Amino acid sequence: MRALLFTLCVAAFATTLAAAPRPDIENLAATAARGKVSVKFTLRAAFSNSEMVEALKSGLPTTFTYVVEVFRDRPNWFDDTLDRARIEVSCTFNSITREYLLSYRRDRHLVRSESFTDLAALQQRMTTVDEPDLFDVDGYKPYKLKVRAKADLMRGWLFYVIPWDVTTRWREARVKAAE
């Protein structure tokens, strides 16, 4: 009887994970100009989970944390990480003014704050990263460098008891020289 119950729980968990599209980093691009690397990408399917949208609408602080690294690609050896940036995009809903407040932080320093009344515009802004001159790589040739990015979205709960983090896989792209 216990084996049957365990099998049913595992099957329910597997179908739950398979049903929702998994968030993923898309269109990662990096360009180098004047010793600086600019990075841009989007996060796909971040709001496909209804819990995420409900959390935004209810006023719970919702944060996406992006980790972006620039590294020197060395085949048949360990990669040489040159620099890392942590980008946090946080949103809260003010139920009195009916506005969403977005805070954009880079390495724990506030870069900008914006207010939105439109949920679709807010979602687009939370899932698009465009960072000019993010890394200083003076002295390295762009064709030897790569960037990688991942996103940490939220903590999920299995059967309201077991926590797990919703995160994307690392996505890599070669740094291209600006034309």
Residue scoring higher pLDDT (152 or 9): 152
Instruction: Please tell me the pTM assigned to this model.
Output: 0.83
Tell me the one-letter amino acid at 121: A
Kindly report, residue by residue over 76-97, the tens digit of the pLDDT: 888 899 999 999 999 999 988 9
Q: Is the per-residue pLDDT at 179 higher than 60?
A: yes
Angle at 169 between CA 119 and CA 44, to 5 degrees: 25
DSSP for 30-86, please give it: EEEETTEEEEEEEEESTT-SHHHHHHHHHT--EEEEEEEEEEE--TTS--EEEEEEE
Query: How many angstroms separate the CA atoms of 38 and 69, rounded?
Result: 12
